[in-house]
């Protein structure tokens, strides 16, 4: 099977939800929608307290070259426009809080159109206006990926259906339950880019998804490629390496090797944006882990408090010890369940005390295991010593900025050193230094 160098094989823990169809969560009574849900400049609020909005109404306009609009996920009344800590970064960001009227009245702009009548430029504009971002977790504005510079022509579109993170099954269920919508969205992405070479990559631990999409792409020219199950197969650079044998240069982007990578959920959102002018205001999220009673895959509105997702899954299974947005390898722990679902929230993982035990760094035994498993070809052991000794220039010289924070090194470390923690710290310090220059 096609794969990449390095990587690890953590327990999958997907059995709790992989065979459970997606359920639609009832409308929340209140949503809190942050203006910063994507990589790039946050949206700027265009509504005020007391304004009446509909589902899909623009509430935040883009403010920079890399920015997308934000839309209401329910109809109702704006209860407040307030600055609060962001659930993932803890930095102050503006939230638009909406009290739902329970009617879910769609915005007047939402309505079906013929995608075949749109030019590639109009497709990109429709995707931008709908606020579509990468739904695999990174939340990079989709329209920006579809607008590469002329000196970097794109010849291949890769659709990422790997979902290599343990516990998460949202993408798996999307592939099984919405294969036609996924293929249509993929075709629209290919047309926007002007490419004919299109591959949907899926790990071979999802044979039912491979079979479903193989049927759906019949006669379209799209290829479905099975890939070896290994983490982080779903990372962009590793997916490109496995499918196309191309290596993205250090500090580069997939477009540097003629590729664009999009998540399967993003492809479905693109189809909704283009065919129905429907903004991205809901997504499929996996709620799972040993700390929740009845794990499920839920279709939820952006801005819904995580507490409502937990309640829909039967509540907590005992006292929760840690709440993570995303998966256990690359997810981010959040302070409590009042935080809202974001466009990039692929999962909510609830850990109990036994599975969330805090580890303390021990002395490195120089076994080299971290070097062997690093999918980026770095030397985590050397980077760790540079960072511990405050030699950040040396860490930068040895490509700490190339770390994708996948956690393979920490997972395989017999000394249980929190390597990713140190690398994140170093990267933030390097970014801060660069800003001062």
Which pLDDT tens digits describe the chain residue by residue (437 residues)? Answer: 688 999 999 999 999 999 999 999 999 999 999 999 999 999 999 999 999 999 999 999 999 899 999 999 999 999 999 999 998 888 899 999 999 999 999 999 999 999 999 999 999 999 999 999 999 878 899 999 999 998 999 999 999 999 999 999 999 999 999 999 999 999 999 999 999 999 999 999 999 999 999 999 999 999 999 999 999 999 999 999 999 999 999 889 999 999 999 999 999 999 999 999 999 999 999 999 999 999 999 999 999 999 999 999 999 999 999 999 999 999 999 999 999 999 999 999 999 998 887 777 788 999 999 999 999 999 999 999 999 999 999 999 999 999 999 999 999 999 999 999 999 999 999 988 888 87
Structural domain includes residue 16: yes
Instruction: Kindly state whether residue 283 falls inside one of the protein's structural domains.
Output: yes
Query: Do 239 and 162 touch, CB atoms closer than 8 A?
Result: yes
Residues 304 and 209 occupy one common structural domain: yes
71 lies in some domain = no
Q: What is the pLDDT of residue 1?
A: 66
Domain count within the chain: 2
Helix/strand/coil for 30: strand
Summarize the chain as % helix, strand, coil (round to 5): 30, 20, 50
- In this prediction, residue 250 carries a pLDDT of 85
Domain membership of residue 227 (yes or no) is yes
Q: In this structure, how many other beta carbons lie within 10 angstroms of the beta carbon of residue 365? A: 12
The pLDDT of residue 64: 87
Same domain, 250 and 381: no
Residues 418, 368: Cα–Cα separation, whole Å: 15
Q: What range does the domain containing 376 cover?
A: 369-436
pLDDT for the residue 81: 97
- Is residue 96 in some structural domain? no
| pLDDT at site 386 | 96
The answer to whether residue 282 sits within a structural domain is yes
User: Is residue 82, in this structure, part of any structural domain at all?
Assistant: no
CB 181 within 8 A of CB 264: no
Q: Are residues 266 and 132 part of one domain? A: yes
Return the pLDDT at 356: 86
CATH for 316: 3.40.50.11540
Distances (CA, A) of 425 to 140, 235, 272: 22, 21, 39
pLDDT, position 128: 97
In a domain, 77, yes or no: no
CA 407 to mean position of chain CA atoms: 16
């Amino acid at each position: 099977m096609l794969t990449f160098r390095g990587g690890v094989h953590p327990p999958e823990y997907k059995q709790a939800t992989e065979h459970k169809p997606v359920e639609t969560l009832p409308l929340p009574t209140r949503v809190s929608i942050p203006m910063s849900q994507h990589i790039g400049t946050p949206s700027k609020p265009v509504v005020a307290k007391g304004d009446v909005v509909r589902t899909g109404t623009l509430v935040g306009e883009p403010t920079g070259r890399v920015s997308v609009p934000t839309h209401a996920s329910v109809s109702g009344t704006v209860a407040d426009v307030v600055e609060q800590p962001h659930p993932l970064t803890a930095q102050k960001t503006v939230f638009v809080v909406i009290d739902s009227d329970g009617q879910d009245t769609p915005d007047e702009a939402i309505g079906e159109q013929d995608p075949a009548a749109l030019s590639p430029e109009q497709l990109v504009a429709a995707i931008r206006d709908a606020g579509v971002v990468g739904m695999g977790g990174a939340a990079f504005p989709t329209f920006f990926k579809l607008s590469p510079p002329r000196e970097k022509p794109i010849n291949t579109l890769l659709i990422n259906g790997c979902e290599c993170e343990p516990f998460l099954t949202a993408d798996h269920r999307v592939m099984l339950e919405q294969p036609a919508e996924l293929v249509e969205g993929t075709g629209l992405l290919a047309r926007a880019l002007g490419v004919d070479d299109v591959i949907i990559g899926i790990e071979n631990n999802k044979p039912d998804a491979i079979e479903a999409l193989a049927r759906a792409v019949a006669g379209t020219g799209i290829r479905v490629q099975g890939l070896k199950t290994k983490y982080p197969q779903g990372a962009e650079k590793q997916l490109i390496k496995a499918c196309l044998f191309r290596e993205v240069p250090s500090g580069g982007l997939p477009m540097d090797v003629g590729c664009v990578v999009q998540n399967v959920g993003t492809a479905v959102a693109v189809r909704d944006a283009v065919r129905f002018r429907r903004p991205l205001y809901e997504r499929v999220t996996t709620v799972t882990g040993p700390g929740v009673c009845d794990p499920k895959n839920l279709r939820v509105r952006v801005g819904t408090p995580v507490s409502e997702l937990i309640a829909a899954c039967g509540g907590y299974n005992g006292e929760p010890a840690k709440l993570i947005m995303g998966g256990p390898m690359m997810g981010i722990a959040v302070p409590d369940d009042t935080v809202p679902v974001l466009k990039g929230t692929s999962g909510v993982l609830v850990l109990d005390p036994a599975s969330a035990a805090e580890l303390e760094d021990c002395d490195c035994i120089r076994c080299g295991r971290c070097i062997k498993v690093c999918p980026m070809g770095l030397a985590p052991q050397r980077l760790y010593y540079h960072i511990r000794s405050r030699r950040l220039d040396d860490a930068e010289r040895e490509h700490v900025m190339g770390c994708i924070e996948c956690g393979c090194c920490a997972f395989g470390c017999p000394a249980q050193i929190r390597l990713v923690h140190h690398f994140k710290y170093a990267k933030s310090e390097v970014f801060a230094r660069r800003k001062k220059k």
